Amino acid sequence: MLDVLIVPNRLTRRFNDLTHEEVTDMFTQGQRVCKALESHYKADAFTMAIQDGPEAGQTVPHVHLHIIPRHKGDYKNNDDIYGDLEDSKPRSVIDNESRPPRSAREMAEEALAMRKLFGQWDTSE
């Protein structure tokens, strides 16, 4: 399952440390990502999450927005996805050490698809 991260240019530990402009930019770019992913991955919906601090499951010391395309029935209980986000060793959805590594060819194909999908990314929009 795909998990796209939106990371502000200026790294901060907590959401409240971001400026108003950085928050606006992060969510504007998140909306653009959702629009692109919705058609490409035929997503029915999206889960967007910020784990703000270690007690919220944040495993890296900077704010970032998770954008996860969702499909009907991808979880038996819809909110189970949050357990995968919080778990230090996710069960299956989020990229982790237990997931079989992708081949160089698979990664190259994915990178090409993302370049086609997003093209030149202008963050001023």
Q: Which of 20, 40, 64, 66 is catalytic?
A: 64
Among this protein's residues, is 64 annotated catalytic?
yes
Distance of CA 37 to the CA centre of its chain: 11
CA–CA separation, 72 vs 49, rounded Å? 19
Q: How many CB atoms lie within 10 A of CB 61?
A: 11
CA distance 64 to 51: 8
Q: What is the C-alpha separation between 91 and 97, in angstroms, rounded? A: 10
Give the active site residues: 64
